[in-house]
Amino acid sequence: MTMDRRQFLTATAAIAGASMLPFSVGAADNIKFGSIMDTSGGFDAYGKPMDMAMRLAIDEINANGGLNGSQIDINAYDTQSDMALYTQYAQQLTRQDEVDVVHGGILSASREAIRQIMRKSKTLYFYNVLYEGGVCDRNIFINGVTPAQQVEVLIPYAMKKAGKKVYVLAADYNYGQITAKWIEKYIADNGGETVAVDFFPLDVSDFGSTIAKIQAADPDLIVASLVGGAHLSFFRQWAAAGMNKKIPMASTTLGVGNEHKVLTAEEGDGIMVAYNYSQELETPENIAFKKKWADAYGDANSIHEIAVSHYQGILTWAEGVRQAGSTNRDDVLSALETGISITGPGGVVTVDPKTHHAVLDVHIMEFEGQKMKVIETFTQRQPIDTQAVCDLAANPDDNTQYEIKF
What is the Cα–Cα distance from 52 to 296, expressed in whole angstroms?
9
Instruction: Determine the average pLDDT of the residues in 302-326.
Output: 97
| Confidence band for 116, pLDDT divided at 50, 70 and 90 | very high
pLDDT surpasses 70 at 22: no
Residue 1 has pLDDT above 80, yes or no: no
- pLDDT of 23 > 70? The answer is no
pLDDT for res 113: 92
What DSSP element (H or E) covers 77?
Answer: strand 72-78
Selecting from 3.10.20.30, 3.40.50.2300, 1.20.140.10, 1.10.3720.10, what CATH number does the domain 147-275 have? 3.40.50.2300
Q: What is the pLDDT of residue 404?
A: 76
For residue 26, the model assigns a pLDDT of 53
Domain span(s) for CATH 3.40.50.2300 in the chain: 3-146+284-360+382-401, 147-275
Residue 374 has, within 13 A of its CA and on its CB side, a CA count of 16
* Residue 202 pLDDT greater than 70, yes or no: yes
Percent of the chain exceeding pLDDT 90 equals 86
Instruction: Please state the rounded mean pLDDT for residues 123-151.
Output: 96
Identify whether the C-beta of residue 310 lies closer than 8 Å to the C-beta of residue 292: no
Predicted confidence (pLDDT) at residue 28 exceeds the cutoff of 80:
no
pLDDT score at 29? 86
Bigger pLDDT: 13 vs 394: 394
- Over 90: is that where the pLDDT of 229 sits? no
What is the pLDDT, as a whole number, of residue 339? Answer: 97
Position 124, amino acid: L
Question: Can you tell me the mean pLDDT for 39-59?
Answer: 94
pLDDT higher than 60, residue 11: no
Instruction: Note the pTM of the prediction, 2 decimals.
Output: 0.89
Residue 8 has pLDDT above 70, yes or no: no
Per-residue confidence band for 2, with pLDDT thresholds at 50, 70 and 90: very low
Return d(Cα 171, Cα 185) in angstroms, integer.
18
CA–CA separation, 310 vs 289, rounded Å? 13
Domain 3-146+284-360+382-401 fold: Rossmann fold (3.40.50)
